[in-house]
Structure 1
Amino acid sequence: MMNKISFVISSAIVLSFLMVGPSTAQEVKKGFRSSENEGWMVNVEEAYQLSEKTNKPILANFTGSDWCGWCKKLKAEVFNKPEFKEWAEENVVLLELDYPRRTSLPEAQQKQNAELQQAFRVTGFPTIWMFDLDRPDGKKFQIQAYGKTGYAAGGPNKYTQNLDKMLELKEKSVN
């Protein structure tokens, strides 16, 4: 698994998927249910726009919020903690990509999440990816991935240490 991540990072493989951007802020929000988690966006277009504005990478949480035990554990032990929220506010744009079983998401959100799951080859939950997006042709996103992780014990400080290593890879790729 680590070899795959190293390969993606070292060879700067860029994944692409088609997603035509909306033209107005109202259209961006249309068809998406908000995250129940404070500070997390659910629309990749909004996350991309904020990422561009702030020059922060996106941290995407692929989760099964209402059925995945490890996802619930990660949320309780890391994402809900003030230390993580403070770290995230300073370093990343948070994007929640949910795959619930007991509730349904709007069709546009389901489609977006399915496309991202396929683009990142996510097969298990939780999967956390850190990446930047670019849209050189104005239509297709290109993804520059810096790494992925899942649930890891140790609380928010230990978890963010791993994420800091991904941020270092981003810095190295820029220089």
Structure 2
Amino acid sequence: METACGRLTRYTSGKRRARQHIDIIVTFVLIAMRSVILLLIICAMSSRTAQAQMMHYPDKAFEMAQATGKDVMLVFSGSDWCIPCIQFNKKILSDSSFLRFAGDHLVLLEADFPQRKKIEAALRNQYDSLAAIFNPKGAFPQVVLLSPEKKLRAYVPTRQQTPDGFINTLKQLLQ
């Protein structure tokens, strides 16, 4: 025959086991929630990294263009002396909406011709070769759309453009 004390002991140990099961379930739920939050953070960061980065080495830019099938947007610039170039860089090339668009559709390449800063001779020779073909008049800034095979697609106007206007111009030219 079971005593009241034995029933109470069995009842409390059963409650204790149930509480342990609940604690385990809550722990798993919290771990799952943390995992979901971590995945959301990673997704948000990866969408931010989908923005285009300006490249400075023509060979690498055209290799990337061929691998991705994207056109190259070549920007001739004088980064430390050309006021319109500096303004174009700040207003358009640094704009987050432009960088997202470019990340999806273009490989960005800058051929910079600074006056105060020195660049490698081999790189300067590559820039000079591109300028001889695609910017013979030496216009700054000059933006050129090229196929991955270095064929001219279009000259892109840069004057009096807003980021959205520049993106719309590029969309039309890329069709």
Q: Shorter-normalised TM-score: what interval?
A: 0.5 to 0.7
Contact kept in structure 1, 2:57 and 2:109, CA below 8 Å: yes
Which of 164, 167, 174 is the matching residue for 2:171?
A: 164
| Identity score, percent | 24
CA deviations over 1:49-96 (Å, ceiling 9, x no partner): 110111000000000000001001111111111010001000000001
Shift of 1:150: 4.0
Is the radius of gyration larger for structure 1 or structure 2? 2
Q: Which runs of 5+ in 2 are unaligned?
A: 1-51
Instruction: Find the aligned partners of 1:133 and 1:85 in 2 and give their Cα distance.
Output: 19
Which of 62, 65, 88 is the matching residue for 1:51?
A: 65
Runs of 4+ in 1 over 6 A off after TM superposition: none
- Change beyond 3 A, Cα 1:100–1:150: farther
| Higher helix residue share | 2
Give the match for residue 16 of structure 2: none
Q: Which runs of 5+ in 1 are unaligned?
A: 1-37, 135-142, 169-175
Instruction: Find the aligned partners of 2:161 and 2:112 in 1 and give their Cα distance.
Output: 24
Structure 2: which amino acid aligns with 1:166?
L
Give the match for residue 156 of structure 2: 149
Q: In the comparison of the two structures, how many residue pairs are matched?
A: 123
TM-score by length of 2: 0.67
Give the match for residue 129 of structure 1: 144
Instruction: Find the aligned partners of 2:54 and 2:90 in 1 and give their Cα distance.
Output: 15
Map 1:43-82; keep pairs closer than 5 Å. 43-82=57-96
Structure 1: which amino acid aligns with 2:132?
Q
For 2:143, what is the secondary structure of its paired residue?
strand
Instruction: Find the aligned partners of 1:100 and 1:91 in 2 and give their Cα distance.
Output: 28
Query: Bigger relative contact order, structure 1 or 2, given CA contacts below 8 A and separation 6+?
Result: 1
